[in-house]
Amino acid sequence: MDDVIGMPVRALAAKVRGGEISARQVVDAHLAAVEAENPRLNALTVVFAERARAAAGETDRLLAAGGDPGPLAGVPFSVKESIDLTWSATTQGWRGLADAVPAADATVVRRMREAGAIPIGRGNMSDFGMRWDTDNDLFGRTLHPIDETRSVFGSSGGDAVAVATGMSAIGLGNDFGGSIRLPASAVGIAGLRPSFGRVPRAAVRDVPVALTLQQFSVNGPLARSVDDLAVALDVLTGIDPADPVSLGIAAPDTDAAPRRVAVVRDPLGWGVDDDIRAAVDRAAVALSRAGWEVLDLEPPMVEEAAVLWRRLACTDMLLTLDPATLPEPLGRSATSFLRDSTAAARPFETASDYAAAWARRAVIAAAWRRLQAEVPLILGPVATRRTPEPDFDLGGQDAADAAWRDLRLVVAVNFLGLPAVTVPAGVDRDALPVGVQVIGPLHADELALAAAAAIESGL
């Protein structure tokens, strides 16, 4: 059953529906990978072995009775520790939520299960997803499957490693400041940060939700291929009455958009590693060969977008994660990150400055929209330096500044709510994966996926 691992999910589900392979066999193959890889890598915090086998048995019985389980029949998926799943606590990677078992599945989980997919485990993350690395005091560190001396980035690092090593076929993560795209790039898989509102975020009940979480954070998939992402997006997308920022958006006509892409190799000229630049060049050549007009052009106001993302995010983090109000302390690394990053970011101290930053966002978004009406896609690096060592985002304000600078194009995307697809684009001098990101216009996720697929097939 080794051929099951790595099979495109569209083909895998079709084989299950067609009776060529059972859902139980698919789940068992992935659980074998979990048994082989997870004790070393610590990607999955909880493994649902018996529940997953029972769900696979239900799928097989439904098929035997002539039913159709759905487009993801028998496909195993992992669920990040920050997304509600009634089978286990939604810990957010924090000891204070170790027993917080939700009463209902998140809408994205429910939609995956209704499409026939089977939860196989929980993906590790940092405390509340704050860090750009995957480590916490509750579960420990997730290791890079190729080189344990390198970070897997974060915060959806557990799901990324699970997908990359065959423990799951799809990972459900979320992206507030690169948390899907960064780990996907680090381990050589694909990841989609959907547009604002395309995929439901989380049910809102009685607890207020910070404005940055409403606007910057989205749920999205990690997968082994761009087509796998597209299949997952079809399942996940759509309005959710429980999420007030979710939207019902019809998929755009990708054939009608101008086939132009702006390439930025070194955003703002702050420096980029030669191996990263080479990966962007390879991706640009692949797009050119696929018929895209490739232009050397930097999008507007990247620095202001990145700075405002950081200041707004740190302002809200200080308000919502005040150690004096938490029933349990944050983990050690999260405490250091919060202290150093907020000190370096200069959070807003007055309501007028905070409001002015949000008002300025409309100006920046309008400038990007004008550009993307003529040149819809932007191709650039994910991180501008190669995969760093663990805890690269700790160590004082200088380390916090360096990490943010390396990820400037990533966080600008979050600030504007745009879709972005990370796709592998070769390896660096140490044979570690390097990804690039394709940024689309607002709600044109399918266009960004189409270009990412052209890069994937052209390399």
What is the model's pLDDT at position 326?
85
- Pick from 42, 13, 160: which is nearest to 34 by CA? 42
Identify the CATH assignment for 259-458 out of 3.90.550.10, 3.40.50.720, 3.90.1300.10, 3.40.190.10. 3.90.1300.10
> Taking 70 as the threshold, does the pLDDT of residue 67 lie above it?
yes
DSSP, residue by residue, 148-177: TTS---SSSHHHHHHHHTTS-SEEEEEESS
Catalytic residue, chosen from 15, 78, 80, 151, is 80
- d(Cα 386, Cα 232) in Å, to the nearest integer? 28
DSSP, residue by residue, 56-94: HHHHHHHHHTT----TTTT-EEEEETTS-BTTB---TT-
* SS3 state at 437: strand
DSSP, residue by residue, 252-276: P-GGGS--EEEE-SSGGGS---HHH
Catalytic residue, chosen from 22, 155, 156, 341, is 155
225 catalytically annotated: no
What is the model's pLDDT at position 323?
78
What is the model's pLDDT at position 253?
82
- d(Cα 320, Cα 304) in Å, to the nearest integer? 24
* SS3 state at 384: coil
> 162 pLDDT band (50/70/90 cuts)?
very high
Per the CB < 8 A criterion, the answer to whether 436 and 186 are in contact is: no
179 catalytically annotated: yes
Q: What is the CATH number of domain 2-236?
A: 3.90.1300.10
pLDDT tens for 172-190 read 999 999 999 999 999 999 9
**Domains of the chain: which residue ranges?**
2-236, 259-458
What is the model's pLDDT at position 2?
61
pLDDT tens for 221-279 read 999 999 999 999 999 999 999 999 999 988 788 888 899 999 999 999 999 999 999 99
> Taking 70 as the threshold, does the pLDDT of residue 450 lie above it?
yes
Catalytic residue, chosen from 78, 179, 195, 217, is 179
DSSP, residue by residue, 26-41: HHHHHHHHHHHHHHHH
Same fold, 2-236 and 259-458: yes
> 3 pLDDT band (50/70/90 cuts)?
confident
> 1 pLDDT band (50/70/90 cuts)?
low
pLDDT tens for 342-373 read 888 899 999 999 999 999 999 999 999 999 99
Number of neighbouring beta carbons within 10 Å of residue 359: 9
